[in-house]
Structure 1
């Protein structure tokens, strides 16, 4: 009886550890596009090479297209990764493409940056 109890405790501990080690996704899907936890639409930039681990949107570009910053200690998982920006800060990427917000989106659900200059697209799962 004691060994069965020990086995059940061990199984429960492993199950809890697996749940605890899976970090929450930094974004969610709403209306068929990725949005930050604030509900604001996320975008990708065609000039960013997927998988390069780099963003080419810096300076004035990043003022208009604020990077979706990753907090210190953030842990990527699944399709999410973290790229290091030119200024040394961390930015979330989805399937290797850095993610950005658009300064002209005013409220959750806005997608006014989609197709901007034919190089900005809503990020889609």
Structure 2
């Protein structure tokens, strides 16, 4: 009998220790600092909407590589010695300033993207192969590649089959390339080479130096545009979430005004969202349903400071 009682007491003691340990863990967690508003919103936001292109099998994903937490050791930022499979994990084509040309398209490392005048527009072919492709590496993808395209309209993105069977990305119907002599972000050493190679803009045309432009009014959402479920906001213009202290946050959009502690200079929504220049949904407002490269062009020089589902 005593032996049974001793065993029972030991078992109860063990259960008590486990319960106390669990309580202690819970207390430690509840006492941890609350995440910032941006962090909390990003954690609660739905996954970025993605579309699989039926022709190429590529997954087209809203937002940037950073905001979608793309592996920095793969894709556009993979080492030069990495295999094609590793390099094609993800590709980013984003709007930026390239050596003073703006808007221009760059890749996930900030390298300038070019088009070749010998390629027919919407011709479905690339005329840069062999040694040419060594100097001008084509931007290629494969089935399952994640393609991020902040600032470029979906309808401007396409694909062509190359002579070697690889799938190359097109912008505005033009196959796109990098230049082997560009070494860092902002280099445009391939601009005007042979009067046939040019930095490309988001519409598939020549990128040019920006001109002073009046404040623009955003185009109203197309009929049937759905309210946004999520928006990726960037603290820098041109979807900059990688230079300096710039960052991005993906937020869930609801029918209730939400504030930021500071202004966000560009955004990528998955539907219609109403933005304001001041907290509390006050000040200047606009309804947007497409990527905004620079909120200053909409009359928001200090960025977006609050938003609500449109």
- Same fold (TM > 0.5): yes
Using the TM superposition, give the Cα deviation of residue 105 of structure 1 relative to its aligned residue in structure 2, in angstroms: 0.2
**How many residues get paired?**
110
Q: 1:106 and 1:73, CA in 2 relative to 1: closer, same or farther beyond 3 A?
A: same
Residue matched to 2:128: 57
Using the TM superposition, give the Cα deviation of residue 37 of structure 1 relative to its aligned residue in structure 2, in angstroms: 1.5
CA-atom RMSD in angstroms? 2.2
Asked if 1 retains the 8 angstrom alpha-carbon contact of 2:114 and 2:199, the reply is yes
Instruction: Provide the secondary structure at the position in 1 that maps to 2:198.
Output: strand
Kindly indicate whether residue 96 of structure 2 is the aligned counterpart of residue 30 of structure 1.
yes
Distance in 2 separating the partners of 1:18 and 1:105: 31
Please say which of residues 25-34 and 84-93 is displaced more in the overlay: 25-34
Kindly indicate whether residue 102 of structure 2 is the aligned counterpart of residue 72 of structure 1.
no
- 4+ runs deviating over 3 angstroms: 73-77
Distance in 1 separating the partners of 2:182 and 2:146: 27
1:100 to 164, 172, 177: 177
Distance in 2 separating the partners of 1:54 and 1:73: 22
Runs of at least 5 residues in structure 1 that lack an aligned partner in the other structure: 1-15
Distance in 2 separating the partners of 1:37 and 1:80: 16
Kindly indicate whether residue 77 of structure 2 is the aligned counterpart of residue 47 of structure 1.
no
Instruction: Provide the secondary structure at the position in 1 that maps to 2:133.
Output: helix
The structure whose residues are more often strand, as a share, is 2
2:159 to 70, 77, 82: 82
TM-score, length-scaled by structure 1: 0.79
Instruction: Provide the secondary structure at the position in 2 that maps to 1:21.
Output: strand
1:31-77 Cα distance to aligned partner (Å, 9 max, x none): 12101122110000000001011100000100000001113234884
TM-score, length-scaled by structure 2: 0.33
Structure of larger gyration radius:
2
Please say which of residues 72-81 and 96-105 is displaced more in the overlay: 72-81
